[in-house]
Every structure is written in structure tokens, then in C-alpha cells.
Structure 1
Amino acid sequence: MKMSNGLDGRRFGRRFLGLAFGVAAAAACGPAFAEEATGQPHAWGLDFQAAASPVMESIARMHSGLLVVITVITLFVTALLVIAMLRFNERANPVPSKTTHNTMIEVAWTIIPVLILVGIAIPSFRLLFEELDLPKADLTVKAVGKQWYWSYTYPDNGKFEFDSLIAQDKQPRMLAVDNELVVPVNKVVRVQVTGADVIHSFGVPAFGIKVDAIPGRLNETWFKATKTGMFYGQCSELCGRDHAFMPIAVRVVSDQDFTAWVETAKKKFASNPTNAVASAADVMR
């Protein structure tokens, strides 16, 4: 960047400080934004979406712990660099040291990183086990990725099915759909995922789930939503021209509302299978 005079330097400094203050303000306001837009991205977001499942809470704790480890290591390495620049420059040491090695230091910089990695690996394996160890399911839903929308089947509730396509006239933009996936709150939901044409990926950040939808293969994941409301995700695998236009919308409701929705959905599917199910929002009104 060209700085021909002090004015340019001051202008650059002001812009840099403005950017820094903006990032700091966004970080401070992050929780407030998260409360306003639970289950979806929000402006100036610097962290995960607010957790709405036990697995996502574990992921958030793991992430926070790694941030502490990364920060400590970064500060330690920065301190070593500063010490090296101050103590071992040409002015401070006109006669350079001829030391070739230090056994204690070499042992330390081998053992300490190994211990750090082991300390990270243990909770990582515990988290992976929690994600992959499917508990007894209260509800099974099958999600089929297609170009470029999702189809859902409820095999435990009469095997009705419906398509879920992006809704251009609804908010939030690029996330709203015509037919949401509806599940009860505080119930273990097993999600079976496959692809009908190419590889897709079923992901909902607030639940901490993301699983590939592969043609000819049935993958599984699970979540237990701890809050009612709307939660959004998207296809997370590049799958063709309209990959950006196949969102995932999950409506979490009470047991009573879920039972009412299932009955209404089955009736609509029986009367018109090609058009399947009306929006859960209409059923819940």
C-alpha cells in the first residue's frame, strides 16, 4: 500500500482501527444477534449458531477449549520470537553462538507437542463417539437429496412423504421452504439420509449434524432438539447448478402439535399424494 505522506498513514490507521472496533462490536453483540435469529445465520456472526441439541453443546465446548489451547500456543510462540529478536540480534550478539543442539530443549519440544495432541485427541474421540453412537430413537425420518430439493418420509407414522423446496416468497431468504421437516422437542430423532441422483449433504448447524447423502448408500445421524422453533440448514455438498437453492428447514414443536401435524399430513397425503403435505406452519395456526 502506497503511503506518500503522514496523511495517508493516518487515514490507513483510522480505517484499521475502525475495522478493529467493528469486529470487536460484532463479537460483543454476537449473543444478542443469536437470540434474535436462533437456528439461522445472523449478521456479523463470529461463532457457531446457538446450540439446540446435546451434541452441538459438546461441539461448542470442544471448540471453546481448542480456542484456549490455540491462544496459549500462539502467545507462547510470539513471546519466543520477540525474545529471539531482542536477545539474539547482531547488535546484542556481535559474536554469534556456535551452539549446535540442546538435548533438554529437543526432548521438550518433542514430548510437549505429543502431550498436547493426546490431550486434544481424547475429548475429540469422545465427541466423535457421541455423534456416531445412535441412542434408541423415538422417531425415524428419511431424507432423500435430489436435484435440487429434499424429500422426507416418516416410516414410523404411516410412511407418508413429501417434497421440500425453497420458497422464494418467504423469509428468511434462501432458507425458507414450502414444507418443513417437523419433529417433536426433546425426542431422539434418527435421520436416515441417501441421495437419489448425485451426492448431497444434510446439515443443520444448530443441531451439530452433517451427513452425506450418497446414492445407493444409507447413512444415519441423530439429534435431540432441546428448543422449539425453526432451525435451518443447507445442502453442504456441491451437487450441481442449483446447489445453493436446496435449504433444509426443521420445525421443532411440542408432542401435541406434532401429533396434530402428523394426522393432518397423513390425510393430505392420502387425498393427494403428488402434492403431499401442507406447510406445518399452516397446520399449527
Structure 2
Amino acid sequence: MIFIIQCDSPALWQTYLSDPASITMEGILIFNKHLLFLLTVIVLFIAWLLFYTIYYFIEYNNKFSSKFVHSKELEIVWTSIPALLLLILSTPSFTLLYAMDEISEPELTLKILGHQWFWSYEISEFNSCQKQEQSLKYVCYMMALDGLPTTKQGYFRLLETNKRVILPTNTHLRLLVSAADVLHSWTVPSFGLKVDACPGRLNQINLF
């Protein structure tokens, strides 16, 4: 259990994204890896092209100036290739964006309300299998450094709260996010979720 917590939490000198805990975050990581590979190839090609131009067209190697002015074929090539690359990148990008905004039939709704220095949560369908529907409400305050247990592992500095949000797995969830006072931002990096909490506005995200 400790190993799982360490994988999903920030680590010292971490230079990459958090471990994926949802299908959305896994898709973001795969797209990010492909994008980094493509950017590396482009940067290496541009660096080689600059080195080639500087080395072979320097004044010491070329005593006479070239009469080359322009080339329609070359202009078409260096315009078409970036456009083609953007078109190739747009396909998985838009697919991922539409998958994140996909609306499904939620089995549970979590209402999130941002306040200054704390968050309040409400699960309306809690215990709805009984005749009388009940709602689960609680408030999460950030724990001070002095309040963190020193004898137990799994507590995170500036991230730990007095209560944790516990949600079921393998279930379609709907998250309704808003704010009571000022602008806030509710995020879970391992889920690939980040949504603004605006006063007077209700934002919705889905989670599986």
C-alpha cells in the first residue's frame, strides 16, 4: 500500500507527470510521449540544418555570393510539412479532448464547492438504495505541518486534509464544481482532471 501511495504522489526532483490512475490520464501520457518524440526529431533536424548552413556557407568556404534568390518548390515543401504535422497531431489531440468531455450516465454525483482555504463536498446519491435518500456532506481543511503524524507514512505536506474524498472504482462519476467566494481550481493530477471553480457557475467533469 505504501508503494502505491508513493507512485501516485509527487516525489522529490520529479521531472515527469504523475502516474496515471484513470483512462484519461493514461491517454494524456501516451500523447505526451509521442509529442515529445516528434519534437525531438524536429529540433535535431533544425539543429543539423543550421549547422550545415553555417558551416558550408560561411565566408571562408564561399568566396562568391550565391545567386540563389527563391524557390517555389522549396517554399511549398517547408509550408506543407508543418501543416501536415499539425494535421497529424490534431487527430489524437481532438480525440482525447472529446473523450474527456464525453457525457455518460453517472452512477454517483459528487458536488464540490470551493471556499477560501477549504473545500466542501456533497454526495447526493449516497445510500440511495434505501427508501429514503440521504446526502453525505463534509468539509476538508488543509492540515498544518504540526498536525501531520510523524510516525505514519502516506501523509503529504501542504496536500493533506483532515478528511479525504473516497470514491468507488470502476464507476462512472459526475463531478459538479463551483465556488462560494472567489475563483478556485480543483485538480487531481493522477486522474488528469483540472477544472476551475467559478462563483455562480457550475462546471461539470466526468470520471471513471
- Normalised TM-score (structure 1): 0.65
The percentage of counterpart residues that share the same residue type is: 35
> What's the offset of the Cα at 1:35?
5.6
2:63 to 94, 109, 123: 94
2:23 is aligned with 1:47: no
1:162 to 129, 138, 144: 138
Superposition map of 1:120-269 within 5 A: 120-157=89-126, 158-168=134-144, 169-170=147-148, 171-224=155-208
Superposition map of 1:104-123 within 5 A: 104-123=73-92
> What's the offset of the Cα at 1:39?
2.2
Paired amino acid for 2:139: D
Give the whole-Å Cα distance in 2 for the aligned partners of 1:35 and 1:190: 25
Q: Deviations over 1:45-82 (max 9, x none)?
A: 11110000000000001101100110010011011011
Consecutive unaligned residues in structure 2, runs of 5 or more: 127-133, 149-154
RMSD: 1.3
Give the whole-Å Cα distance in 1 for the aligned partners of 2:92 and 2:161: 37
- The alignment covers a number of residue pairs equal to 191
Indicate how the Cα distance of structure 1 residues 104 and 75 shifts in structure 2: closer, same or farther if over 3 A, else same: same
Give the whole-Å Cα distance in 2 for the aligned partners of 1:66 and 1:54: 18
Which structure has the highest helix share of the two? 1
Paired amino acid for 2:54: M
Give the whole-Å Cα distance in 2 for the aligned partners of 1:148 and 1:167: 11
Indicate how the Cα distance of structure 1 residues 156 and 35 shifts in structure 2: closer, same or farther if over 3 A, else same: closer
- Normalised TM-score (structure 2): 0.88
Which ranges of 4 or more aligned residues in structure 1 deviate by more than 3 Å?
A: none
